Every structure is written in structure tokens, then in C-alpha cells.
Amino acid sequence: MKAIVKPKPKEDQDWPIGFSIIDKPEPKVTAPGDVIIAVHAGAICGTDVGIYNGKQSLRKEMMKALTDPVTVGHEFSGRIVDAGKDARKHITRLIVQKAKSNRKLKARIRTKTPASLASDKKFAAFLEESFYATAEMHVTCGTCYQCRLGERHVCRNTVIKGVHDDGAWAKYVKVPAENVRLFYDREIPPDIIAFMDALGNATHTVMSASVKGRNVAVLGCGVQGLMAVAIAKYAGAKRIYVTDASSQSVSHDKLVNTRFALAKHYGADACFDVALESERRGMIDRVRSDTDKTGVDAAFEMSGAYKAYDDAARILRMGGTFSLLGLPSGTHQVDFAKNIIFSGITVHGIIGRKVFQTWDQMEELLKAGLAKMLVKTGFVTHQFPLDGYEEAFAAIHSGDAYKVLLKP
């Protein structure tokens, strides 16, 4: 099968920029818990761009890879085409569970139990035709202290498929059954399921604070920031303030006419180009006057720019929540006494998705209308076949793309 790969970096050798597409053997069920998924679409995120460009932090991560070369890509949707013995049992349990809250599926499986479903001769065809699947691509050990506490998102032995092991930008991907998420009969469009990994990061960030009826700020209006705005709106936020900074590559007018316009469509009340001192002051004044000088309840840092941390300190209320998803480079000085202790704020570092709490929350929001809105507003801006991946990355590097899909 065709697969997009990157060689495992070697200590004493250069790590080439870019990817290559090669012919690889199709993955097979080798363990009882294995599931094989035929990929409908893969999606590209910032981590993939970092791997493509040979970013140092990702080179270090990929030196731990279990295979060489590594099939990249960790965002995807597809159809289950094979499953090991235990995997089959697990999947049938997921289906019976899902039927409890899905009338159409309930009518379809009637009184079937997981065991009778698993032994049904037509089960494999039913599964392949009626469900789309994706997976949590952080594969966790299940035995470390955090895993035993149910905090799988901070497992200390996490293997990320598409980074440390074969991922999804290929015709087929193999995943552990316990990481699979199933969707019946287009309950969420497969092109949206393809980037639930990324949407899950934004959901985890927004849900780390209580947002219902609260005022929030989203710092950074890229793909993650835009998703955070939409999620905050669907989660019932009262007012949403958004910041981003124009630059040499993205002019002020372009920022206002594209990303800020979309943010407003998704529910932002006001957007500020903080590269302009007048707008930065305007943001602080606006939040103060709207909130009786209190400040916002929560700030979500999606930009990875330390400058945004300083903005957050100016607009976050005492006792507020500051949740950090964007990855800054280097270090930054923080006045802990003034900005954290005396302010009584809570700071959350956001890694991955809570397994599976974040997935459940995201699924609710998507079904409540978020998925339709993402489709209607063309959040997926580009689609390419697997071997068009160079064009896909060119579209991302141009700054004009939001979500880009690769279809085998």
C-alpha cells in the first residue's frame, strides 16, 4: 500500500526535510486487540508540519520510533475492515453501548447482545458499511501510576502513532481496539471525524475551565483558536474575545477579513490585532468596560506566543483560569507573586485529550451543530490525494489553509 513516511532520525546523520511516499506492506491483525482501519481521510496538523520541516523537538521524539521509516499522520477517519478476537468483542460492546443513545442504531441491532453480535456472520459487513471510526492515537501503557489513576492523557509511556509508531497517512492503519471511537451512519461527517484529534485538543482546553455563562478570551486565531471559539460558543460562553497578531506574512487587513471574520461567525464578540498597540489597548479597555473592571473568567492560549501570556495577565480576572495549549519556544519570565499567587488564578497545561471524557464532550458538541457549522463554513479548505501531499503542505505553508485533508 502507499504510505507517507519519514525516516527515523539517526544520531549522527542529517534528518531530511519533507516526506516521501513509498510502497509498504499492509498492516495485519497480529494481536487479539488489533483493529485494521481503511483510511477515508487523514488530516494535517501543526505537529505534522513540524515533522515535515525537521523541527528539533520532533526529531528528538522520533528518535524513539519503534519502526523505520515511520508512516506519519495521526488525524484520520476510516472504516474498520478487520479486527482480532478481543477487538471484535470490544467493538461489539461499543456498538451496543452506542445503541442506547441512538434510536436508528437501536432499531437496527434490536435485542442483540455484544456476544450475539460478535458471532453474527454479517457482522463484519455491517461494521464496515455502517460505521466510520477514528482512534485516540496516544497509545498508553495502562500500568503506570497515571494510567492506573485514569489519567491516560499523561501516561509516562505514551506511544503516539504517526510519531513514534506507524500512523494513518496510508491506505490502512492498525490501532488498538480500546482506542477506537465509532460513529454510526453519518452521525458526524467523515471529513470532520478526520480531525477530531485536533478538535479534541481545543475541546480539552476550553473544557478545562467552566465556560457556560462566562466571559472568555481566546488568544491566537489560527486553526486551534478558531476551533476554540466555536467550542466555547457551543459550550455556552457569554462573551468571547479573540486576539491574534498581524505580521509580515499576514497583513492586518488579511487577518481581519479572513480569520477574524470567521471567528466572529463562530461566535466571537470582538477580535483584536494585538500587533497594533492601539488595538491591544482597545482590547484591555473593552474587556474592562464590558465586565465592570473584573476581567474574563478564562483565557485560552492557542498561539504559542509568550506575548499573549502578558495579554492574558492584563485581562484575566482574579481567580480566573488560564489554560495553555500553544507551544512556545524558549523560556519566559513570570511574576508568580503578582500574576499567579495574588491573582489566585489556576493554570492548566493541556496535553492531548482526556481519554475518553474529552471525546465524549466533543461528540456532544459536534452533534449539537458544531459539525454542521464546520462543514458549512468550509473549515476543511483543501483536499488532496495521498501523493498530492507536497501541494497540501504548500497550501499550509502559504497561510491560506485551515484544515487540509489527504485522501488515500
| Residues found near Zn ion in the complex (CB under 5 A) | 45, 47, 140-141, 144, 147, 155, 157
**Helix pair angle (196-207, 223-234), 10° resolution:** 60
- Which residue's CB is nearer to Zn ion, number 102 or number 140? 140
- Which residue's CB is nearer to Zn ion, number 163 or number 232? 163
- Closest separation between CB of residue 384 and Zn ion, Å? 18
CA distance 176 to 195: 19
Cα separation of the two ends of the chain: 10
* Nearest-5° Cα angle at 224, 222 to 229: 95
* Nearest-5° Cα angle at 238, 372 to 362: 40
Q: Transcribe 252-286 into DSSP letters.
A: HHHHIIIIIHHHHHHT-SEEEETTSHHHHHHHHHH
- Which residue's CB is nearer to Zn ion, number 51 or number 271? 51
- Closest separation between CB of residue 143 and Zn ion, Å? 6
- Closest separation between CB of residue 259 and Zn ion, Å? 19
Quick one: which of 26, 167, 33, 150 has its CA closest to 93? 33
- Which residue's CB is nearer to Zn ion, number 45 or number 177? 45
- Which residue's CB is nearer to Zn ion, number 144 or number 284? 144
- Closest separation between CB of residue 6 and Zn ion, Å? 15
- Which residue's CB is nearer to Zn ion, number 154 or number 334? 154
* Residue 366 cell numbers, joined: 459536534
- Which residue's CB is nearer to Zn ion, number 109 or number 227? 227
- Closest separation between CB of residue 262 and Zn ion, Å? 20
- Closest separation between CB of residue 154 and Zn ion, Å? 8
* Residue 368 cell numbers, joined: 449539537
CA distance 264 to 229: 9
CA distance 50 to 329: 13
- Which residue's CB is nearer to Zn ion, number 144 or number 340? 144
Quick one: which of 174, 222, 214 has its CA closest to 45? 222
* Residue 211 cell numbers, joined: 465556560
The residue assigned the cell 507536497 is 390
250, 211 Cβ separation under 8 angstroms: no
Q: Transcribe 289-328 into DSSP letters.
A: HHTTT--EEEEEE-S--HHHHHHHHHHEEEEEEEEE-S--
Instruction: Give residue 49's identity as a one-letter amino acid code.
Output: V
CA distance 375 to 117: 33
- Closest separation between CB of residue 374 and Zn ion, Å? 16
The residue assigned the cell 532520525 is 9
- Which residue's CB is nearer to Zn ion, number 157 or number 251? 157
- Closest separation between CB of residue 172 and Zn ion, Å? 20
Instruction: Give residue 271's identity as a one-letter amino acid code.
Output: C
